[in-house]
């Protein structure tokens, strides 16, 4: 497998265009990371203003997606890239879709945070949500780092991490169901908590997807919908 | 060297001449010359081979004691090699020292090229922000630290300030990033851990907010009773005056507390002030109404040069105007004049409060926005100023990306101008600033 090297083209402009595309994906990633961070902070600290600000700022993520998408189409049309360049473009187009979804989930969490801020707060101030949120945030950071460094090792570990997030989500749902059975009046609030946890769990899935694109981009093989353990075994051989 | 060269050339010439003469004696001068040339060539080839072997094996014993041009070449070669080694050692030592000292730096340092791509970085930058020396070489710096504020900072290229961002590695840690340009298009990124400072200022803010809040409830009780006493007809005549004084002071304390709360709210607000549409001229008119019934204040005029709409938080802009106007009223005699004006153009929006009052000593101007700073402690206590107004103005403007400019001449008057950035204006293109200025001149 040829390693990805953006400097190996005869046309300097083409090098620059690909490099710019990669940079703008990471800029978008940075924006989404900040949005998610603020959304989680808003839920944990009960800051409704911050939550609404997150919801309001989602348009920036959307604009970036459209912009990068257009640039990708332009490069495809004018340069007709092949091999690793083509994989890079394809991976970018898919990555930004997932990033945009992460942005949407963050918007949703921000909105839920502003709603939850108006209700009574449990004594543990949503400790489980904070833990799940930090876990997912770390996954998003690792995914973007893997994308920046073309580090498949890190990408594989994020893909594995997603199972833990699913487990944590499962536990929160169970806990929420218990709360609702104990106290019927809390249902409205706990439902919102469940939605927030659900959004976080979805973000974990999107991070996993992004890492799969990174693996595709670098190694040229598609690891979606397959058992990651098989690949680990294959790689060790 | 020159001597050896002359000898060498002379030797060859003599040899060739000798060969030719011997050949001539035998009647065959050319054969003699050719023989001599072959002998000379064979000798030089042998010397060349010896020298080549010496270079290859590093054993120069055979050449060391020989003479002639080859020994000279050897000596020169050896000298240059020795000197090169000496310099290399010196540079290596120097480089090692530099590298060790950057390694020992507690602050992160990353060298960047003209495109902000990482050249090299020290271990502290890994600990603080996750830069990996070898792996990240050639990577754009904002691909690793992806905070939008930092990306914007790089794009703006305004490196006279620093940015403060959340650490990408640890929750609750804050970093200060500063770019220092040097050489031809090279940059040094310095990373400092400022968690402690952020924590302290947060603690201070929270302390002020909590203390003000806690002071408020006992004060409400006190002022309630004082109010009751002042209206109670049974209060003895001798107590009437003290009660009124108490009432005034309690009122004053209430103002201080509510302004402190307002200030700490402005300071701790992290979110954008929003983009409500504000009709500045309407705010100016309503601010003037407060003083409409009072005879003891200067004449207040309003100049609305631009219909431009300001985007921001109306309550904060209102408090900016109210504070600036109340300052102007307090420091301007009733015979004076106060002008409130709003103009806007492609360069930005200007909200100005000008008066013909007593003016401010230029040395004190930089200190005006400090908390509880008063130009004249004795007198402002009597007229209700508490020294928080301009601090509030400064913070409210800061949140809108605006700046406060203060100009003053003692005895002639002062002007306080708020300069809003153009991206907070709507409809500013209608009246450019310069034209607005000209219109002013016409009026005058």
Report ipTM (2 d.p.). 0.83
Of A115-129, B94-108, B201-215, give the lowest mean pLDDT range.
A115-129
Residue A90: C-alpha distances to residues A61, A219, B249, B267 (Å): 19, 14, 71, 45
Q: Are A218 and A4 in contact (CB under 8 A)?
A: yes
pLDDT, position A109? 94
Q: Which B residues 252-311 touch A at CB under 8 Å?
A: 269-272
pLDDT digits (tens, 9 = 90+) for A207-226: 999 999 999 988 888 877 87
Token representation of residue B40:
């000379």
Question: What is the band of B293 on the pLDDT scale with cuts at 50, 70, 90?
Answer: confident
Question: What is the band of B441 on the pLDDT scale with cuts at 50, 70, 90?
Answer: very low
- Whether residue B206 lies within 8 A of chain A, CB to CB, comes out as no
Question: What is the band of A236 on the pLDDT scale with cuts at 50, 70, 90?
Answer: low
pLDDT, position B62? 67
A22 to chain B, closest Cα gap in Å: 9
Burial class (CB in 10 A: 0-12, 13-18, 19+), A51: buried
Q: Degrees (nearest 5) of the Cα angle B305, B356, B397?
A: 55
Q: Are A211 and A99 in contact (CB under 8 A)?
A: no
Of A97-106, A199-208, A216-225, B424-433, give the lowest mean pLDDT range.
B424-433
Chain B residues within an 8 Å CB radius of A30: 142, 146-148, 151
Helix (H, G, I), strand (E, B), or coil: what is residue A71? helix
How much of chain B exceeds pLDDT 90, in percent? 8
SS3 of A44-66: the string is HHCCHHHHHHHHHHHHHHHHHHH
CA nearest to B257, candidates B297, B204, B210 = B210
B373-381 average pLDDT score: 62
Fold of A12-236: Methane Monooxygenase Hydroxylase; Chain G, domain 1 (1.20.58)
Of A7-11, A148-152, A166-170, B329-333, give the lowest mean pLDDT range.
A7-11
pLDDT digits (tens, 9 = 90+) for B350-365: 888 988 888 888 888 8
- Between residues B348 and B63, which one has the greater pLDDT? B348
In the predicted structure, residue A1 carries a pLDDT above the cut 60 = no
A62-66 average pLDDT score: 93
In the predicted structure, residue B443 carries a pLDDT above the cut 50 = no
What is the enclosing helix (H) or strand (E) of B191?
strand B186-193
pLDDT, position A143? 93
pLDDT, position B262? 84
Question: What is the band of B270 on the pLDDT scale with cuts at 50, 70, 90?
Answer: low
CA nearest to A208, candidates A142, A162, A144 = A162
A43 to chain B, closest Cα gap in Å: 15
In the predicted structure, residue A110 carries a pLDDT above the cut 90 = yes
CA nearest to B336, candidates B237, B413, B224 = B413
A40 to chain B, closest Cα gap in Å: 12
Chain A residues within an 8 Å CB radius of B272: 53
pLDDT digits (tens, 9 = 90+) for A5-20: 666 666 778 888 888 8
Rounded CA-CA distance A32/A143 in Å is 12
In chain B the domains, ranked by start, together with CATH numbers, are 2-99 (no CATH), 105-193 (3.30.450.20), 197-268 (1.10.287), 276-443 (3.30.565.10)
Chosen for mutation from B146, B164, B171, B173 (greatest number of chain A CBs closer than 10 Å) is B146
Q: Which A residues 1-40 touch B at CB under 8 Å?
A: 19, 22-23, 26-27, 29-31, 33-34, 37
Question: What is the band of B302 on the pLDDT scale with cuts at 50, 70, 90?
Answer: confident
In the predicted structure, residue A106 carries a pLDDT above the cut 90 = yes
In the predicted structure, residue A4 carries a pLDDT above the cut 90 = no
Q: Are A25 and A58 in contact (CB under 8 A)?
A: no
């Amino acid at each position: 497998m040829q390693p990805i090297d953006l400097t190996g083209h005869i046309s300097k402009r083409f090098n620059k265009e690909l490099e710019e595309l990669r940079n703008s994906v990471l800029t978008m990633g940075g924006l989404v990371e900040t949005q998610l961070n603020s959304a989680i902070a808003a839920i944990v600290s009960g800051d409704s203003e911050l939550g609404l600000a997150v919801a309001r700022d989602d348009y920036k993520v959307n604009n970036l997606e459209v912009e990068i998408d257009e640039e990708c189409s332009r490069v495809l049309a004018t340069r007709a890239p092949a091999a690793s360049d083509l994989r890079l473009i394809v991976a970018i187009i898919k990555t930004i879709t997932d990033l945009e979804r992460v942005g949407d989930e963050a918007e949703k969490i921000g909105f839920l945070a502003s709603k939850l801020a108006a209700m009574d707060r449990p004594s543990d101030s949503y400790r489980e949500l904070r833990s799940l949120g930090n876990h997912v945030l770390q996954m998003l950071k690792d995914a973007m780092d893997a994308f920046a460094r073309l580090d498949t090792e890190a990408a594989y570990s994020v893909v594995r991490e997603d199972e833990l997030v699913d487990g944590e989500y499962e536990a929160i749902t169970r806990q929420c169901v218990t709360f609702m059975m104990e106290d019927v009046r809390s249902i409205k609030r706990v439902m919102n908590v469940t939605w927030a946890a659900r959004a976080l769990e979805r973000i974990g899935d999107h991070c996993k997807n992004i890492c799969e694109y990174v693996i595709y981009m670098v190694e040229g093989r598609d690891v979606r919908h397959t058992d990651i353990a098989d690949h680990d075994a294959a790689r060790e051989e | 060297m020159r001597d050896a060269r002359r000898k060498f050339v002379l030797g060859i010439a003599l040899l060739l001449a000798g060969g030719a003469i011997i050949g001539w004696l035998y009647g065959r001068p050319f054969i003699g010359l050719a023989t001599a040339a072959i002998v000379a060539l064979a000798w030089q080839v042998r010397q060349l081979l010896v020298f080549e072997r010496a270079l290859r094996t590093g054993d120069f014993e055979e050449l060391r004691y020989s003479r002639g041009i080859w020994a000279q070449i050897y000596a020169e070669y050896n000298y240059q090699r020795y000197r090169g080694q000496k310099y290399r050692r010196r540079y290596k030592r120097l480089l090692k020292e530099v590298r060790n000292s950057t390694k020992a730096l507690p602050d992160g340092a990353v060298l960047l090229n003209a495109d902000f791509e990482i050249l090299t970085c020290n271990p502290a930058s890994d600990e603080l922000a996750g830069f990996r020396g070898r792996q990240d070489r050639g990577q754009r710096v904002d691909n690793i630290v992806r905070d939008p504020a930092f990306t914007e900072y790089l794009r703006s290229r305004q490196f006279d300030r620093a940015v403060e961002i959340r650490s990408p590695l640890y929750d609750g840690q804050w970093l200060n990033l500063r770019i220092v340009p040097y050489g031809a298009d090279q940059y040094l990124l310095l990373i400092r851990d400022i968690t402690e400072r952020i924590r302290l200022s947060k603690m201070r803010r929270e302390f002020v907010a909590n203390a003000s809040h806690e002071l408020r409830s006992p004060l409400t009780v006190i002022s309630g009773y004082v109010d009751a006493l002042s209206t109670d007809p049974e209060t003895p005549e001798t107590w009437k005056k003290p009660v009124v004084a108490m009432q005034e002071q309690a009122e004053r304390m209430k103002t201080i507390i509510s302004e402190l709360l307002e200030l700490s709210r402005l300071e701790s607000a992290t979110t954008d002030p929003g983009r409500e549409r504000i009709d500045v001229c309407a705010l100016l008119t309503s601010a003037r109404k407060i003083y409409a019934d009072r005879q003891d204040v200067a004449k207040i005029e309003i100049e609305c040069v631009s219909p431009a709409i300001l985007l921001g938080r109306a309550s904060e802009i209102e408090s900016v105007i109210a504070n600036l106007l109340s300052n102007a009223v307090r420091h301007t005699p009733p015979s004076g004049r106060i002008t409130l004006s709003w103009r806007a153009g492609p360069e930005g929006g200007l909200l100005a409060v000008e008066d013909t009052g007593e003016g401010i000593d230029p040395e004190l101007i930089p200190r005006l926005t400090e908390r509880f700073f008063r130009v004249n402690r004795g007198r402002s206590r009597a007229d209700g100023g508490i020294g928080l107004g301009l601090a509030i103005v400064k913070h409210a403007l800061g949140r809108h990306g605006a700046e406060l400019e203060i100009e003053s001449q003692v005895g002639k008057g002062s002007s306080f101008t708020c300069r809003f950035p153009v991206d907070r204006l709507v409809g500013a293109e209608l009246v450019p600033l310069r034209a607005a200025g000209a219109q002013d001149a016409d009026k005058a």
